[in-house]
Amino acid sequence: MSWALIAGGSKGIGYAVSEALGRRGYDILLVARDGQALAAAKSKLESHMPVRVETFAADLSLPASAGDIANWCRDNAFDLNILCHVAGMGGAKDYLRLPVSELNRMVSVNFVSPMSLTLSMLPMLQKNAPSFILNTASLAGFAPFPFKNVYSATKSAVLFFSYSLRNQLREKNISVSCLCPGPVFTKPAIEDETRKKLGWFGSQMAIEAGALGEMAVRQMMNGRMIIVPGRLSFLVSVLLRLLPAGILARVLSEKPTANLTDTI
């Protein structure tokens, strides 16, 4: 059987991606920090689809995690040909409002982890090609958001890393995609905050996690590079890519606009 590894796969978007892959017959490798959440996700997946699910608890902010996960896969002879990086760290506080230790952790989880884990897993992915890599950025990766400075910088790094990696791995028959969602209703608190701050516009941009997971997997397997779920979010992403970064930074520094970045 072919295996798909989802880093950050126990909850939210990562779990939705796991479900979408399970429906396509892939056995699932779930990696996350919370062992109890992993056990719950494993039980839920195996209870409603005929898949095998294995779990590995790891703190993806730690440098040793990539090697530990790769060793686990090699030791168990998992035939891996899909690697999904969905784990991420954000929130309402960012640069100037967080200690440097938390900012470094955000950089580690959002960018260093997918970069390191991809390099560790490449021999397995190449052996089992055709293979797929799905990285997760954000709409915030298309522009410099002053109120989400480090977060948007890490997501921009993921986006550009994915572009370059896609061309580096093309001849190895490994396809690279980058998921760039806007607001995602992964829990009621996010839905309430999105509707409160963005009103109708936020409701139209938002997408449910299940629909997002299905769209992400479908487009990844179709070879799409940039995956922006939702028509309105896609139009916003085009606008962000067209406008000069300096103008965007100035416009997005206005307080009402900054609220958008709390949800993406």
Distance CA(85)–CA(12), nearest Å, equals 13
**Other CB atoms closer than 10 Å to residue 236's CB: what's the count?**
20
Predicted structure pTM score: 0.90
Backbone φ, ψ for residue 225 (5° rounding)? -80, -60
pLDDT at 203: 66
CATH code for 3-262? Answer: 3.40.50.720
Q: What is the pLDDT along the chain (264 residues), one digit of tens a residue?
A: 699 999 999 999 999 999 999 999 999 999 999 999 999 999 999 999 999 999 999 999 999 999 999 999 999 999 999 999 999 998 878 889 999 999 999 999 999 999 999 999 999 999 999 999 999 999 999 999 888 899 999 999 999 999 999 999 999 999 999 999 987 866 666 666 666 656 666 667 778 889 999 999 999 999 999 999 988 888 989 999 998 888 888 888 864 443 444 444
Q: Is the dihedral angle over the CA atoms 114, 116, 122, 125 positive or is it negative?
A: negative
Q: What separation in angstroms does the CA of 247 have from each of 63, 146, 178, 250, 260?
A: 36, 12, 25, 5, 17
